[in-house]
Structure 1
Amino acid sequence: MARVFPEGQLVYGMQLPIQSQSTLYAEAWEAAATPHDLAEIARTADRTGFAYIAVCDHVAIPRRLAGAMGTVWYDPVAALGFLAGITERVRLMSHVAVLGLRHPLLTAKQYATLDHLSGGRLILGAGAGHVPEEFDAVGADFPGRGAVLNESIDALRAALGPDEYPEHHGELYDFAGLAQLPRPAQRQVPIWVGGSSPAAVRRAAERADGWLPQGDPRDRLPGQIARVRALREAAGVTDPIEIGAITEPLYVGEPGRPVGRRTLTGKPDAIAESLRAYAAMGVDQIQVRFRSRSRTELTDQMAAFAAGVAPHLNQ
């Protein structure tokens, strides 16, 4: 699998607000936001050079977790399909699709159609999932979700490849002689694995085209990246892997209000200097999130980042 983004260049993307409203990161204004707000944010990302926009995946949130996770989680295929029609160049990512909730042929049909309609802009981010009630509700295997995810990735390599009649023979899934059209516009859809557990790191190293860590702080990332590369080499995988990182929250300029002690603020060149440390660790793409009080403030922040910070990321 070829790289998605140019080697040696630090690119930036974002998980969209509104479509997921976990109390861990959602801003207050998102609760009353509309599809028009989501569309304007996606258009801003498309216009200002963001590498990708991402949408999460949860089928149903149990009452016991609703207080922490919230219950607003858009369907990734429906949301990305909507956004594909109003954007032109930005990549469309599931971050992450919980593959164990669906048969690989169903997943392939949905995402192949999305890639076909968007002109080859899909990045399929995949993860194991962590909510047992979701798995129970759809009859999926929660205790065995790691093995299910491993084989799902293998099956999707075939099902999202160029062949009209994909074929896979495994322990959990077996299919052949079944046509699926349309095929993806890309000859092979990139699959990036999310997660920072030992199992997720190994999965990314051995099976993925990219790694999407979940919340690793800066001081832990170098060790994690070294482990990904060591495991990949030990597995004999020679294809490149694109390494990601989720940055601290950002605010370009002086916010004039409390934005949290971890938030990077200040002049664009100072923020860029701080973010270049990720590239020095071996990171290829950073996922950014901005502190904001409204959709307009968010899109202004995105534009300020693109105009003032992005030009200095690769100096």
Structure 2
Amino acid sequence: MRIGITSPVVTALPGACSPWERTATVADLVAVATAADRLGFDHLTCSEHVAVPVAVAEQRGGTYWDPLATLSHLAAHTTRIRLATQVLVLGYHHPLALAKRYGTLDLLSGGRLVLGLGVGSLEEEFDLLGAAYDERGAVADDALPALRAALGGPRPSYDGPRFPFGGVVVEPHAVQARVPFWIGGHTARSLRRAREHGDGWIPFGLGHDRLRAMLDGTDLPDGFEVVLGAGRPVDPIGEPDRTRRALDRTVAAGATVVNVHVAATSATHYADQLSALAALAGLTPTPTTPTAPEDA
């Protein structure tokens, strides 16, 4: 079983954010990231919102750490765990800008980048940023192949209706031969977009029965990743049986990777919960390098 962490601290969703996260430090976040890295978890996440209107923040939250800065910092403190944007809004960026910024992160992290990408849903934010909300689907359909082309090497080219480019150098660029794209959404169109342009799908707001039906009706390519949330925060120390059932239900719904929120009262408690969860799920910790004995 592969399990990713919906990173604490970096977002503050009403009703989902634990009290300790509101006063947590960067050191607390790093402690969680290094524990997840050491214990064999698949990935850490960071979402994107630039400027959330106050009225909307009451429902969606207003705290969203910048994913590029955040994941770059965590890359410097980890060695194995993947770093996933969940998700970047395609309409807010030119594909070449994403390729330069996140291609550099892929280089710095040793090829651990996963680009979670979506069309976006917050109209007010589109308006604030001067992006075309009504055209966001068409923009995404051209931005995805353009981004794939832009990440592929130092002299990319692409001939599309909205983002054509050529005769340019983008260096540094991603070191992975194919950076995984996880496409977010909750519609059949988002799943089709994931199949056509991506390597995985991150659905949200769908029940497990609906998810299973959508997946069963779709021919997915080999290696395609379905990243599903396990529901309410898991408590592997206090409720190991319920935690195991939540993981098993998520896999039964079609997950190849399970995303979890972890219940905790502090960064230390969070790391302890991760240790219990790793043991429960049979994750393989990163081997430690033995320390050479000191000379007598």
| The two structures share one fold, judged by TM-score above 0.5 | yes
> Is structure 2 residue 294 aligned with structure 1 residue 305?
no
Note the residue ranges of structure 2 that are not aligned, 5 or more in a row. Answer: 285-296
**Cα distance change of structure 1 residues 241 and 311 upon mapping to structure 2, 3 Å threshold:** closer
> Which residue matches 1:288?
260
Alignment check: 8 A CA contact 1:13 1:286 kept: yes
Superimposed CA distance per residue, residues 19-54 of structure 1 (whole angstroms, 9 cap, x where no aligned partner): 111114211211111111111111111011110001
Question: Equivalents in 1 of 2:35, 2:183: separation in Å?
Answer: 26
The residue that corresponds to 2:159 in the other structure is 169
- Contact 1:53–1:93 (CA<8 Å) still a contact in 2? yes
Contact 1:16–1:55 (CA<8 Å) still a contact in 2? yes
Instruction: Write the distance in 1 (CA, Å) between the matches of 2:141 and 2:165.
Output: 16
Query: Does residue 272 of structure 1 match 2:244?
Result: yes
Q: CA deviation at 1:274?
A: 4.7
Structure 1 residue 285 displacement after superposition: 0.5
Tell me, in whole angstroms, the C-alpha distance in 2 between the residues paired with 1:72 and 1:274: 27
Q: Answer with 186-195 or 201-210: which moved more.
A: 201-210
1:199 aligns with 2:199: no
Q: Distance in 1 between matches of 2:176 and 2:125?
A: 31
* 2-structure distance, mates of 1:42, 1:289: 14
Q: Distance in 2 between matches of 1:301 and 1:21?
A: 20
Match 1:84 to one of 58, 61, 75: 75
Q: Does structure 2 retain, via aligned residues, the 8 Å contact 1:14–1:53? A: yes
SS at match of 1:168: coil
Secondary structure of the structure 2 residue equivalent to 1:177 = coil
Per the TM alignment, residue 216 of structure 1 is displaced from its structure 2 partner at its CA by 2.4
Which deviates further from its counterpart, 217-226 or 297-306? 217-226
Question: 1:22 and 2:13 equivalent?
Answer: yes
1:168-206 deviations in Å (ceiling 9; x for gaps): 111111100110011211011111101112321221122
Measured after TM superposition, the shift of residue 79 of structure 1 is: 0.4
Deviations 1:245-293 (A, max 9, x none): 1002211133xxxxxxxxxx334xx643552343344321000111122
1:244 to 227, 230, 234: 227
In the alignment of these two chains, the number of paired residues is: 283
Q: CA RMSD in A?
A: 1.8
User: Per-residue deviation at 1:225?
Assistant: 1.4
SS in 2 for 1:251: coil
The alignment status of 1:222 with 2:212, answered yes or no, reads yes
- State the shift of 1:239 in Å: 5.2
For 1:170, what is the secondary structure of its paired residue?
A: coil
Q: Counterpart in 2 of 1:158? A: 149
Structure 2 match to 1:260? none
Look up the match of 2:289. none
| 2:43 alignment counterpart | 52
CA distance, structure 1, for counterparts of residue 194 and residue 40 of structure 2 = 27
SS state at 1:174 partner: coil
* Amino acid aligned to 1:252: P
- Give the letter for the 1:183 counterpart: H
Is 2:201 aligned against 1:211? Answer: yes
- State whether residues 229 and 260 of structure 2, in contact with CA within 8 Å, keep that contact through their aligned partners in structure 1: yes
Q: Which runs of 4+ in 1 moved over 4 A?
A: none
**How big is the shift at 1:311?**
5.1
Q: Kindly, what percent of the aligned residue pairs are identical?
A: 38
Match of 2:97 among 67, 85, 106: 106
